[in-house]
Structure 1
Amino acid sequence: MVTMNSKAISLFSHSSSLVLLPLLSCATSPESHDQKKSAFEFLKHLQGCHHGEKVKGIHDLKKYLEHFGYLSYSHSKNHTHANDDDFDELLESAVKTYQRNYHLNATGTLDAQTVSKMMMPRCGVADIINDEQWSVGARPGAFDLETVALHEIGHLLGLGHSSVEGAIMFSSISQGVTKGLHADDIQGIKALYNT
């Protein structure tokens, strides 16, 4: 089930237009998706990495997992390893948690499926969202504006991300698909507003 945010009610009335306006301004971006490089392109060369290895770019993986809440060196005795390229136990544990969250085989190794999932655009990453192709309705290579807007409205209402892939509040959005409310989204709203 989705998680809740108590600040959402006050944010909704004041910031719904602030969230939707940048999305609408991106809808007419003339650049082609093929001309742009994903912000997560660095993950490709890390495919196959596992515990015990030292590979250039692992520190970027650590930043990625820390940014999305899977990893925290600040509460660990391994704080000195936060910016190095060592695939340590804490990183392996974070990768396993990520894999379990996305219903992948929790090996702790950066297999092809894990890297592919990590490279998908994520909610809240403005440099990805503001550089993508937009459409209204499902169109290959483009993100459905209404699906993204519905997801962001869910956040404004207080919903967090869901681990249910069919839910509008799932943490990543695929190109070429449209989504509506899922039973998990509805259950989250009912729990949040006691209805």
Structure 2
Amino acid sequence: MAPQIPILGAILLLIVTLSSIDPTESKQPAFKFMNQLQGCHKGQKVSGIHQLKQYLERFGYLSNASYNHPNQYDLFDDVLESAVKSYQQFYHLQVTGTLNSETMKLMTMPRCGVPDIVKENHPHSHYHHNRKLIHAVSRYAFFNGNPRWAKSMLTYTFFSSVSVPAAQSLSSACARAFQKWANVSNFTFQEVAQSSKADIVIGFHVGDHGDGIPFDGPGGFTAHAFAPSIGLLHFDGDENWNTNPGPNQMDLESIALHEIGHVLGLQHDDTVPDAVMYSILNYGNVKRNLHPDDIAGIRALYGLQP
């Protein structure tokens, strides 16, 4: 038996060591590849360009067929230049077609995973349509066809496929976020047991979690949701979530407030960075109060008095 003692001790030491490792530490930030791309322009071939094309394809600025060829992987070609210009135009940046510092700063920030322009072959295409066809009034926007709920009392529940520390705060954070939308609309929201059939299901997931929109790890797409009346709201479990966020943490309530806006039928507000429905929120930032544009949008969508 004596020879087994060192082995047992080694196993116990390994277990203790592994249990002390933060699982997110082994994962590279999702947008880290962009660090080497600043200043790139048409005609260059740089490692990481292919990942940039995948980023722009995810948000609707490129089609997969336009870049998925070995000779085009890391080439900054005409198609990519056009996609970069479209991105810059969408976010009201200087339209140069080059990866200048202003563009790269915006691209590398954590953001909502709902696409800006939804192609027909995208998993969201069953529920969202081409961004160019979205009915826009003032600065807020709706999904094409103005999908909305046919009832004003919505139930919600929680189901996660992974365990994260912030899960214990999810119910209270979402309750506060739901109440803020209820205060400016005709909606009421009620949490129900997981065993009940709910209108909205909320939870933490990682990677490919079955809805066709995989998460990409820390520092990328923080969450996503579907337009009415699909009722799915997902948070990326690889992010460092908190209700009192530090500089490297994402605010749970702020993101919940944004994604609930999608669940109710609002698209991204691409011109007002202070709006809750703006697609980008950086680490450590908090945005827990609805902007007048958010309020005007939800009230216009559901035919309420301004």
Give the TM-score of the pair, scaled to structure 2: 0.48
Q: Which residue of 2 aligns with 1:176?
A: 284
Superposition deviation, residue 36 in structure 1 = 4.9
| Alignment partner of 1:153 is 2:260 | yes
Q: Which has the higher contact order (CA 8 A, sep 6+)?
A: 1
Superposition deviation, residue 82 in structure 1 = 9.2
Superposition deviation, residue 95 in structure 1 = 0.8
| Alignment partner of 1:191 is 2:297 | no
| Alignment partner of 1:133 is 2:240 | yes
Q: Which amino acid aligns with 1:177?
A: N
Determine the C-alpha separation between the residues in 2 that align with 1:102 and 1:81.
30
Alignment of 1:64-103 (within 5 A): 64-72=55-63, 74=65, 84-103=73-92
Match of 2:293, SS? helix
Q: Which amino acid aligns with 1:112?
A: S
**Match for residue 31 of structure 2 among 22, 25, 40:** 40
Q: Deviations over 1:104-143 (max 9, x none)?
A: 2221111122122111112127333322222224532221
Unaligned segments of structure 1, at least 5 residues:
1-29
Q: Which residue of 2 aligns with 1:123?
A: 112
Identical-residue share of aligned pairs (%)? 52
Determine the C-alpha separation between the residues in 1 that align with 2:299 and 2:257.
17
Q: Which amino acid aligns with 1:113?
A: E
Distance change >3 Å, CA 167–CA 32, structure 1 → 2: farther
| Aligned Cα root-mean-square deviation (Å) | 2.6
Distance change >3 Å, CA 33–CA 178, structure 1 → 2: farther
Q: Which amino acid aligns with 1:37?
A: Q
103-112 or 80-89, which deviates more: 80-89
| Alignment partner of 1:113 is 2:222 | no
Determine the C-alpha separation between the residues in 2 that align with 1:101 and 1:94.
11
User: What count of residue pairs does the alignment treat as equivalent?
Assistant: 164
Superposition deviation, residue 93 in structure 1 = 1.5
- Assess if the C-alpha contact under 8 Å between 1:137 and 1:177 holds in 2: no
Superposition deviation, residue 187 in structure 1 = 2.0
Q: Which amino acid aligns with 1:118?
A: M
Higher-helix-fraction structure = 1
- Assess if the C-alpha contact under 8 Å between 1:144 and 1:177 holds in 2: yes
**Match for residue 167 of structure 1 among 275, 289, 297:** 275
- Assess if the C-alpha contact under 8 Å between 2:110 and 2:283 holds in 1: no
Determine the C-alpha separation between the residues in 2 that align with 1:65 and 1:56.
16
